[in-house]
């Protein structure tokens, strides 16, 4: 009688392990920021503010039609922009995170267009791409939660 009970107990333990491993708990996305998340995001705000002021300097170079310095400025002083934006995007709530990632991609597409247009000496395309980049950056900054 011990063998059938042992066998039955063994089969039941396998069945329980299988059922537990197949079950899933649905995790809910957070709807608000914790104080630690806001503090982490706020540490990046001065960097983003500095990079936003560098965008204004880029606008000045574009107005002067200084295409060599425009291209150099995109690759030099604005080189940290992608890392800073990705860092902040990863810390945002899921609803804002997708929009932040899309704005980051759009901003960098605009910067690439500025670079290409500056190389081709296309003033109209540089100006329109710059305005789109500034708009994307400003929209990104609006996604950052206030302290």
pLDDT tens per residue, the chain (147 residues)? 556 777 778 788 877 888 777 776 665 666 787 888 888 888 888 999 999 999 999 999 999 999 999 999 999 988 888 888 998 998 888 888 999 999 999 999 999 999 999 999 999 999 999 999 999 999 999 998 886
Give the pLDDT of residue 26.
62
pTM of this structure: 0.74
Domains and CATH numbers, the chain: 34-142 (1.20.120.290)
Give the pLDDT of residue 25.
63
DSSP string, the chain: -HHHHHHHHHHHHHHHHHHHHH--PPPPPPSS--HHHHHHHHHHHHHHHHHHHHHHHHHHHHHTT-HHHHHHHHHTTTTTHHHHHHHHHHHS-HHHHHHHHHHHHHHHHHHHHHHHHHHTT-HHHHHHHHHHHHHHHHHHHHTSPP-
Give the pLDDT of residue 108.
93
């Amino acid at each position: 009688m011990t063998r059938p009970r042992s066998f039955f107990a063994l089969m039941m333990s396998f069945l329980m392990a299988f059922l537990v491993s197949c079950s899933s708990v649905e995790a809910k996305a957070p709807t608000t920021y914790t104080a630690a998340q806001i503090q982490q995001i706020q540490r990046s705000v001065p960097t983003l503010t500095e990079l936003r002021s560098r965008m204004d300097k880029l606008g000045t170079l574009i107005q002067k039609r200084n295409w060599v310095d425009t291209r150099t400025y995109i690759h030099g002083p604005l080189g940290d922009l992608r890392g800073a934006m990705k860092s902040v995007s990863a810390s945002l709530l899921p609803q804002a995170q997708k929009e932040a990632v899309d704005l980051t991609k759009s901003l960098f597409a605009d910067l690439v267009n500025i670079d290409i247009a500056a190389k081709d000496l296309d003033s109209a395309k540089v100006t329109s791409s710059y305005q789109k980049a500034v708009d994307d950056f400003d929209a990104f900054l609006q996604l950052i939660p206030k302290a």
